[in-house]
Amino acid sequence: MKMERTSGVLLHPSSLPGKYGIGSFGKEAYDFIDFLIQSGQKLWQILPLGPTGYGDSPYSSFSAFAGNPLLISLELLVEQGLLKQKEIDTGFLENRTDIDFGKLITWKFPVLKKAFKRFSETTSTLQARKMDNFRKDHSEWLENYCLFMALKDQNHLKPWFSWNTEQMIFQRETPRKLKEELRESIEFHTFLQFTFFNQWQDLKNYANRNDVKIIGDMPLYVAHDSADAWANPEYFLYDKSRNPKLVAGVPPDYFAATGQLWGNPIYNWDVMKEDGFSWWKRRLKFNLKSYDIIRLDHFRGLSEYWGVPFGEETAINGNWYKAPGKELLQALTGELGDLPIIAEDLGIITQDVIDLRDEPGLPGMRILQFAFDSGEGSGDLFLPHNYIRNSVVYTGTHDNDTLWGWFSQAKNQDKQYAMDYLNIPENMDIQTNRKMNPELTWAFIRAAWASTANYAIIPLQDLLGLGNQSRMNLPGTTSGNWKWRYDAEALTDELAGKLAEMTRLYQR
């Protein structure tokens, strides 16, 4: 992957501010891009954009292709004439600092159905044709996804593996009677995807026109309760009852003492290899229309994966199994050429993972927070003076505590090491009004920006010096995550100017 020396900010669109319960692709998203421009940043990294289910995790989506309707801007639908202002001013008017997903879903989907009804009744021939073109262009995944979601609605959102046998067993040729019965629901979900991708593409185009690239995030696995796992059973290790033989996770590590049991079904790599990894080619091509660069989550799973027998309660009793990562990457390179992929190479990394990453020239990740955490166990790798150019440095990721959250609870010896390495004065007042002292924050930013890593990225929480109440995710937990949103007033001209100067100083 070709990389110029540059920098950016990690922020999921759901964390954008606004009136209506969750960040969206409306004005606040454009304002954030303007902040990136003002501060000299060329990268906006996000988390996966797929529709979320239980636990609200963007890494557990109903589809590897579809977009999350919750991110649709209602205000843009008002501008289109598909909603009236009074219809969206009935809830979530306050600028919340977190997301209440339960209340949000209950409120927003009925509002989106009003927009769909008005679209169906009043849309122009041009718009109808555009939606038909969208349907044809995305037919490889859209038809199955919309049928899947219509069946989920009919089954009160229960997972597909608890539906009746006729619905649970996917049929390539859907019975006409069932399609007709679910026609309106299928059309509604088609409208949601049409609207989502129109709004997202407009936003991405605005970023690209202003020299800002989007780094998307592609989970290695798909969720068990997903259209992909339902409609493509041949690609997964299922038994005759469509239960997974093995599920994905990671063994005990720094993040979790009993490992992480993700529960994703494991791919049937033999079948995928036999058909030339066609599903992966379609998936990557599709994602590269939505993003400029892709961060491939859990990259080490392409070399070896941790498979846990279905039904286990923790990830402890798993085993390592080989995966055909080399053949997959060769097939993708043959189809797409140079792969604009960042390898998430964290965790237990062996030489074969390093070789798999380096052969196609993929950059890996370096987490600055880990450099000073004696509990992490591999700090030397993450110290800036050991970085290589073909890498991406982060102060932290969505899975880490914020810098201030980590530093405030770190061991004294780790704090001291960080302060010595970063040349932080001993007499500095570390905490200021429940925030990290800005000078301490900027010492970490300076270390990342000054490093030799081609890309340097900071989560917005760290740029704002926020504590662990602003943490995005705590691995190994299933509730209370993905809720954080920032206050629009936090992105000041002063902050933009300081980040721009740091960026200029270190030639990013």
Rounded alpha-carbon distances, angstroms, from residue 423 to 329, 426, 440: 42, 9, 10
- Give the start-end residues of each E strand in 387-460: 391-394, 431-432, 435-436, 455-459
Is 297 catalytic? The answer is yes
Cα distance between residue 421 and residue 383, in whole Å: 9
* The one catalytic residue among 56, 217, 399, 401: 399
Is 399 catalytic? The answer is yes
435 DSSP β-pair partners:
432
Amino acid identity, residue 94? E
Alpha helical stretches, state H, 72-182: 74-79, 85-88, 101-122, 125-137, 139-154, 165-168, 176-181
Cα distance between residue 14 and residue 12, in whole Å: 5
**Residue indicated by tokens 């259209």:** 227
Q: With left for phi above 0 and alpha for psi between -120 and 50, is residue 402 left, alpha or beta? A: beta
Closest CA to 44 of 34, 52, 54: 34
* The one catalytic residue among 28, 56, 344, 345: 344
* The one catalytic residue among 217, 297, 304, 414: 297
Is 380 catalytic? The answer is no
Contact criterion met (CB below 8 Å) for 256 and 476: yes
Cα distance between residue 23 and residue 44, in whole Å: 15
Cα distance between residue 141 and residue 26, in whole Å: 26
* Residues annotated as catalytic (active site), given as ranges: 297, 344, 399
